[in-house]
């Protein structure tokens, strides 16, 4: 296994470009099952999860290619089974359920296990599909779904589930009649998926709001589409600039989609200014103050930025709190940050952070994607050397991170553990 080694204490300076969004590319890649004819997606990041998704598409009978950041895919002979060996490495594979039920009237998808941050059930997905006419049984760890022809339905999610909204959106594009999704997720990545489906001929309105309406169509046509930039990668660089007291020009930054993060960073004393070539980020006057954060569904503060903001608050003047309301176990980075000198106390799903003068480098263990990003950012600012182990977690969601950070002055390299 690899680890990332960081010699901290260097201020980052210069331009840094954001790659395409992992969480937009994953559902859009699986939506490529739906249209007839070839599809080409641009700005697709070269990440572990993307390669895993392409492997799934191959297993499902698609012909795919991945040159640079362009993926082309065409369905040849569609299969209906997503195997456990693959699904266990990436739970987003469950997003093939909607397209397969819509196209084949049957799907066998391994029930995705939980992960470090929570149980991650898919009950809301299944309940919605049952309303559209599907029946399911659980057979040796596989969800086996069947339906004649999916029918449009009036669906109301108990929770605005991102994956659930995406799964139903894909299925509804093909279902007979109209589907209304109430309490739909409003995340930008859901909007990007809807825009891709519309580019292929789907009839969708209300995406980006809590009520999405879909008129099923008999077929979709392959198209070209550019995936949106990754707002969480962009937010991570904003934190890295402030953490190291440097100045970064973040290029291809989805600034509007980061409003709740920008609001909190500005309250902490970070300056973020949009200009011609991107967003310029630095500390406004050297000092940072603590803030209170509660993670919420979009447009609230994103849970995927929680670990990174916690890291920044470790060096702020004063105290702040973070309440994690989306996932039940998303504080795995806390003890690792404490090993680097942070002062963080946990009480249930709330963390109380008291800023400290400095953090010191240490060997630390990554546990999930965003926790690993927060440990890298902490290592950039800490005095001395930090070894972030199990860096495969990071490779799921950050394209060429060490190259991008080195290009703006960081002393970071990869080593065998």
The answer to whether 79 and 61 have CB atoms below 8 angstroms apart is yes
Q: Give the pairing of strands 203-205 and 211-215.
A: antiparallel
Closest distance to ligand EPZ from the beta carbon of 131 (Å) = 13
Which of 16, 122, 134, 394 is close enough to bind ligand EPZ by CB under 6 A? 122
The answer to whether 156 and 165 have CB atoms below 8 angstroms apart is no
CA 282, CA 241: separation in Å to the nearest integer? 6
The answer to whether 377 and 243 have CB atoms below 8 angstroms apart is yes
Examine the residue annotation and report whether 32 is marked as an active-site residue of this protein: no
**Using the rule CB under 6 A, is 124 a contact of ligand EPZ?**
yes
Cβ contacts of 221 within 8 Å, gap of 6 or more:
35, 36, 37, 200, 201
Closest distance to ligand EPZ from the beta carbon of 33 (Å) = 17
Select which of 62, 72, 115, 314 is catalytic. 115
For residues 373 to 412, the per-residue mask of contacts with ligand EPZ, x marking binding by CB under 6 A and - elsewhere, is: ------------------------x---------------
Ramachandran category for residue 342: left, alpha or beta (phi over 0 → left; psi -120 to 50 → alpha): beta
CA 352, CA 255: separation in Å to the nearest integer? 28
**Using the rule CB under 6 A, is 367 a contact of ligand EPZ?**
no
**Using the rule CB under 6 A, is 50 a contact of ligand EPZ?**
no
Which of 136, 237, 255, 327 is close enough to bind ligand EPZ by CB under 6 A? 327
Q: How is residue 133 written in tokens?
A: 């006419």
Considering beta carbons, is residue 164 or 355 the nearer one to ligand EPZ?
164
Listed ranges 78-86, 121-129, 147-155, 353-361: which one lies at the site for ligand EPZ (CB under 6 A):
121-129
Which of 21, 23, 173, 367 is close enough to bind ligand EPZ by CB under 6 A? 23
**Using the rule CB under 6 A, is 194 a contact of ligand EPZ?**
no
Listed ranges 116-124, 169-177, 248-256, 343-351: which one lies at the site for ligand EPZ (CB under 6 A):
116-124
CA 413, CA 400: separation in Å to the nearest integer? 11
Considering beta carbons, is residue 111 or 288 the nearer one to ligand EPZ?
111
Closest distance to ligand EPZ from the beta carbon of 369 (Å) = 4
**Using the rule CB under 6 A, is 188 a contact of ligand EPZ?**
no
Closest distance to ligand EPZ from the beta carbon of 289 (Å) = 27
Q: Is the dihedral of CA 30, 34, 40, 43 positive or negative?
A: negative
**Using the rule CB under 6 A, is 54 a contact of ligand EPZ?**
no
Any idea which residues carry the catalytic annotation?
Answer: 115
Give the interface with ligand EPZ as residue ranges (CB under 6 A): 23, 26, 92, 118-125, 159, 161-164, 185, 189, 303-304, 326-327, 369-370, 397
């Amino acid at each position: 296994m690899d680890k990332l080694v960081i010699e901290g204490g260097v201020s980052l300076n210069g331009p840094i470009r954001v790659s395409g969004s992992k969480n937009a590319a994953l559902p859009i890649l699986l939506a490529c099952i739906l249209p007839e004819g070839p599809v080409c997606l641009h700005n697709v990041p070269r990440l572990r999860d993307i390669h895993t998704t392409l492997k799934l598409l191959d297993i499902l009978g698609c012909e795919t290619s991945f040159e640079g950041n362009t993926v082309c895919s065409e369905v040849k002979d569609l299969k209906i089974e997503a195997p456990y060996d693959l699904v266990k490495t990436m739970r987003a594979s469950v997003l093939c359920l909607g397209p397969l039920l819509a196209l084949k009237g049957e799907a066998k998808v391994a029930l995705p296990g939980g992960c470090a941050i929570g149980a991650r059930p898919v009950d809301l997905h299944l309940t919605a599909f049952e309303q559209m006419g599907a029946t399911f049984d659980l057979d040796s760890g596989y969800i086996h779904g069947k339906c004649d022809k999916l029918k449009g339905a009036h669906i109301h999610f108990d929770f605005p589930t991102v994956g659930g909204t995406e799964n139903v959106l894909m299925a509804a594009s093909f279902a007979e009649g109209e589907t209304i999704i109430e309490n739909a997720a409003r995340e930008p990545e859901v909007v990007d998926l809807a825009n891709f489906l519309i580019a292929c001929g789907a009839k969708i309105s209300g995406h980006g709001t809590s009520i999405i309406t879909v008129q099923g169509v008999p077929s979709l046509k392959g198209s070209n589409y550019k995936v949106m930039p990754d707002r969480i990668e962009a937010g991570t660089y904003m934190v890295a600039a402030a953490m190291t007291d440097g100045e970064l020009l973040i290029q291809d930054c989805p600034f509007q989609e980061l409003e709740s993060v920008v609001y909190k960073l500005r309250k902490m004393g970070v300056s973020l200014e949009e200009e011609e070539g991107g967003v310029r980020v630095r500390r406004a006057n050297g000092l940072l103050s603590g803030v209170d954060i509660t993670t919420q569904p979009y447009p609230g503060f994103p849970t995927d930025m929680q670990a990174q903001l916690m890291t920044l608050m470790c060096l702020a003047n004063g105290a702040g709190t973070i309440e994690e309301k989306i996932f039940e176990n998303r504080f795995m980075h806390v003890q690792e940050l404490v090993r680097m000198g942070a002062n963080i106390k946990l009480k249930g799903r709330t963390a109380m952070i008291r800023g400290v003068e400095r953090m010191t480098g240490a060997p630390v263990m990554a546990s999930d994607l965003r926790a690993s990003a927060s440990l890298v950012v902490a290592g950039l600012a800490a005095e001395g050397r930090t070894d972030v182990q199990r860096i495969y977690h990071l490779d799921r969601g950050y394209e060429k991170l060490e190259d991008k950070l080195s290009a703006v002055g960081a002393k970071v390299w990869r080593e065998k553990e």
